[in-house]
Amino acid sequence: MSPRYIYRLIQAFLKRFKIIIFLGIILGIISFLFLTFLLPNMTSSKFKIGIVGRYTVDKLPEEISTKISGGLTKIDESGNVVPNIAKSWETLDGGKTWIFNLDENIIWQDGKKIKSGDINYEFNDAVIEKPSDSQIKFILDSQFSAFPIILTKPLFKKGLLGTGEYKVKNISLAGGYIQNITLINNKKDKLAYKFYPTEDRLILGFKLGQIDVINKLFDISQFETWNKINVDQKIGYNNFVGIFLNTENEKLSEKTVRQGLNYAINKQNMGERALGPISPFSWGYNPQVKPYEQDKDKTEEIRDIEIKLSTLPNLLKTAEKIAKDWEDAGVKTEIEVVTSVPESFDAFLATVDIPKDPDQYSLWHSTQTTTNISKYKNPRIDKLLEDGRTELDKEIRKKIYLDFQRFLVEDVPAIFLYHPTFYTISRK
C-alpha cells in the first residue's frame, strides 16, 4: 500500500467524519476542564472562619496548629497521654530524664521521614540531646511527672510543614502578625482563617460577609433576630469561670470571710456548675468537694464589708448577678470592668483555661508570683502540688490531686462558679 494511497484514505476519512471528530475534541477539552477545575470545587468545601487575636507564625492558635501537625504525644478522650510522633518513651530516674523513641513510619508533609534533628522544642529548664535519628532525650532541671503532656504541642518544619491532615496553602502577614491563613487537605477542602484585633471587629466582619463562621462566642444576643444562621453551643469543660479573691487583702485574708462570699452567691442558672479547678472529664477530678450552695445563714461574716469586683467585659452580666447577691448579704459591692488582671484588686472575675494535666502548680503554688492570681499561700497545698508533679504512679498522683481539690475548695482562694458555654455561629 503506497503512502499516497494512505494519505488519500485519511483525507477521505477526515472529510467524512470531520464533524464527529470536531465534537469529540471539544468534548474532550470540556471533560478535562471539568475534571481538573470544576469537579474538585464541587466536591470540596471552603469555610471562612474568624479569629480574634494577634498571632505570629511561631505561635499559631491551637485551633489551627493542631490541624497542621501533631506533637510527640497526644491526649486521648479519657485525658491520658498516648503515643503520636513518638511511639514510646521512658524515664529511668524518677522523671528528670525522658527518652522518646520516634515512630519511623510518620512523615512530614514534604514526604520525608521525621528525624530527631527535626524536633525543635525549646525549654529553658531542659537540655535536649539527640543520640540517634530515631531517639531524643530531654534532661530536665528537676523531676516533672507531667512532662509527656507538654510534648503534645504540635511540631513544625521550616515552611510550616507538619504531619497533620491540613497543609498551609497560603499565608499573609502584616508587621509580623498573621492576617490570613488558608489550609487545604487532600480532598481540596479549604479552611480560610481571617484574624481580627477585637471581638467587635470580628462580629462586624461576619455581618459584612467577610467570614462565614465564628467560634467560641460568649454572647450571641445581637444575633437573636438573624434567621439565616446556624447556632451551635458547647460547654467548655476545659475552662472555668471563677472569682479570684486577693488573699493578701486584709478583709479577705480570713477563710470564714471568703467562705461567706461563696455561700452568698446563687450559682443556679449561671451555667454548668464548676466545683473546682479541674475538668470533670479529667482522671484526677474530685466530685466530692464542698459545693457551696447558696446559704444565707452562713453569710454573717461578710456583712458591712466593702468589695470591688473587677471583671472582664464579657462577664459583666455575671458580675452584676454576683454583686446583687453580695449586696443582699450586706456587702457593699462596686463593679470595675478591666481588660486584664488588675495590679491591685479585691475580687477578680475571669474565665480560666484548665491545664490538660491535673498539675496546677503555676496557679496555686506560693512561689508562683506571676500566675498565682489570688496570691495564695498554703503549705499543705504547696506540698500536694510538689508531690503531684514528682510522683510517676498515676493512681498515687490521683489521690494527691483528690486531696488537693478538697483542701483548696475548702480554703476558698477562688470561688468556682461554672463552665462557660461557647457558641459557634455560621451562615446557613
Domains parsed from the chain with CATH numbers: 47-69+164-217 (3.40.190.10), 71-150 (3.90.76.10), 239-423 (3.10.105.10)
Residues of the chain with pLDDT under 50: 36, 38-43
In 3D, which of 96, 159, 76, 30 has the Cα closest to residue 390?
A: 96
Say what the pLDDT of residue 149 is. Answer: 96
Query: What's the N-to-C CA distance of the chain in angstroms?
Result: 69
| DSSP 8-state class, residue 28 | H
* Rg of the chain, C-alpha, whole Å: 29
Backbone angles phi, psi at 333, to 5 degrees: -120, 130
- The helix (run of H) or strand (run of E) holding residue 12 is helix 3-33
Can you tell me whether residue 127 is helix, strand or coil? strand
DSSP-assigned beta bridge partners for residue 135? 101, 132
Residue 121 burial class via C-beta count within 10 angstroms: exposed 0-12, middle 13-18, buried 19 and up: middle
In 3D, which of 325, 314, 248, 339 has the Cα closest to residue 292?
A: 325
Residue 348 burial class via C-beta count within 10 angstroms: exposed 0-12, middle 13-18, buried 19 and up: buried
CA distance 406 to 383: 14
CA angle 131, 132, 133 (to 5 degrees): 140
- The helix (run of H) or strand (run of E) holding residue 9 is helix 3-33
106: Cβ–Cβ under 8 A, 6 or more apart, which residues?
85, 113, 114, 163
Strands (DSSP E) along 67-159, which ranges?
73-75, 81-83, 86-90, 97-102, 126-132, 135-140
Sheet with 332-337, strands from edge to edge, namely: 272-273, 414-419, 239-245, 347-353, 306-311, 332-337
Residue range 264-308, pLDDT digits in tens: 999 998 999 999 999 999 999 999 999 999 999 999 999 999 999
User: Residue 119: CA atoms inside 13 Å, Cβ hemisphere, count?
Assistant: 28
Give the pTM.
0.84
In 3D, which of 148, 181, 186 has the Cα closest to residue 166?
A: 186
Backbone angles phi, psi at 227, to 5 degrees: -100, -20
> Within the chain, how many helices (H) and strands (E) appear?
10, 19
Find the DSSP H helices in 58-111. Answer: 62-68
Sheet with 86-90, strands from edge to edge, namely: 86-90, 97-102, 135-140, 126-132
C-alpha cell at 327: 449586696
Residue range 184-194, pLDDT digits in tens: 999 999 999 99
Q: Is the Cβ–Cβ distance between 61 and 194 less than 8 Å?
A: no
C-alpha cell at 77: 478522650
Say what the pLDDT of residue 334 is. Answer: 97
Say what the pLDDT of residue 182 is. Answer: 97
Q: Which residue has the cell 504531619?
A: 163
Question: β-strands 126-132, 135-140: how paired?
Answer: antiparallel
C-alpha cell at 425: 455561629
Q: Which residue has the cell 446559704?
A: 295
Say what the pLDDT of residue 153 is. Answer: 96
User: Residue 274: CA atoms inside 13 Å, Cβ hemisphere, count?
Assistant: 28
